[in-house]
Structure 1
Amino acid sequence: MALSATLHTFTVHLADVDRGVYQELELRVARHPSETAEFMLTRLLAYCLEYEEGITFSDGGVSSTDEPAVLVRDLTGRMTAWIEVGAPDAERVHRGSKLAGRVAVYTHRDPAKVLAQLTGKRVHRAGEIPVYSFDRAFIDAAVTAVERRNTVTLSVTERLLYLDLNGTILSTPVEEHRLA
């Protein structure tokens, strides 16, 4: 018998001062049985940090091979942003870079290892693709605060992320790396 996804709800109060984005979001995030809590949280943070009109979690979630974890479509349905989470392989990043005008990778893993597996591989517009990383201790602490129903206040200023997740208050820089 196949396991089903666990549904988490997040009420997010987003204040991204760097981009001038201030939103109240009601998000339902399905966590696939094979998805780690760290991946799900990174996926949520990527969604918030990339928030714009047309953003959505992919239909297949972590198991989708045709779409990234998070994507943005314009009003015509054309994909404008391909946002990967974790440690995607070079082929996925290459494909996304050809399909969308913008690609970004958000990782909770060691950014040096993520960059190493992408560097030197065929990736369309590699120099334009940012890889954003979160401090591992930050992710580990935040994961312990995740419940089925969550209240989140997320503020970003000068790429410093402040997170209040169900009363657990944390902060971390969002470090940007580039593919060579």
Structure 2
Amino acid sequence: MAAGATMHTFAIQLADVDRGVYEDLSLRVARHPSETDAFMLTRVLAYCLEFEDGIDFSEGISATDQPAVRVRDLTGRLLAWIEVGAPDAEKLHSGSMQSERVAVYTHRDPAKVVLPWEGKRIHRAADIPLYSFDRGVIADAAAHIERRSALTLSVTERRMYLELNGASFESDVHEQRVG
């Protein structure tokens, strides 16, 4: 855990109908002082929307050579490199070289996120999805985060239904390709 990080605990009920994933999760999330609540919530949502055996958070913002979320198999081989926010092209390129699959989840305007990537070398860019949410949903939901939060997430037909500490939100999970 990074020095000065604030620990948050999320009790999560996940029902991803699209992927057939139904889990009760308890996540301890270290929020770095430079990390916004919206970024942290996007990190938690990326974890849930990508949930599978072997998933975990990396060392966090200070680990520049690691993704926000990753999936490893039982041998330790990196299967998925999952970025959050607006990673630079070099990090996406590196992640795509190291893992079978790369994805990006952002709480920002996706058009502004992809702009710095134009003309940059990103390995298998056409295979990398960029996921975003309806405008304002993440910021509105993030305002309800507490140190101990109860989160219910249901996903059906790429529509996300989120309840966070009694407040309800919904959004499409938009997908576009990086390249």
TM range, smaller chain: over 0.9
Distance in 1 of aligned mates of 2:124 and 2:162: 32
Within 1, Cα distance between the matches of 2:170 and 2:153? 10
The answer to whether structure 1 residue 19 and structure 2 residue 37 are counterparts is: no
* Kept in 2: contact 1:119–1:179 (CA 8 A): no
Q: Does 1:179 align with 2:172?
A: no
Q: Deviations over 1:20-74 (max 9, x none)?
A: 000000000000011111110000000000000000000x211111110000000
Counterpart CA distance in 2 for 1:126 and 1:120 is 11
In the TM superposition, 1:137-176 aligns within 5 A as 137-176=136-175
1:21-170 aligned at under 5 Å gives the runs 21-58=21-58, 60-170=59-169
Q: Please report the TM-score for the alignment, with normalisation by the length of structure 2.
A: 0.97
In 2, the alpha carbon distance for the partners of 1:4 and 1:66 equals 21
TM-score, reference length from structure 1: 0.96
Moved over 4 A (4+): none
Query: Could you tell me whether the CA contact under 8 Å between 2:37 and 2:143 is conserved in 1?
Result: no
Taking the aligned partners of 1:35 and 1:3, their CA distance within structure 2 comes to 13
What SS is found at the alignment partner of 1:22? strand
Name the amino acid aligned to 1:97. S
Give the total of aligned pairs. 178
* Structure 2 gap ranges (5+): none
Cα RMSD for the two superposed structures: 1.1
What one-letter code is carried by the residue in structure 2 that aligns with 1:155? Answer: S
Identity %: 65
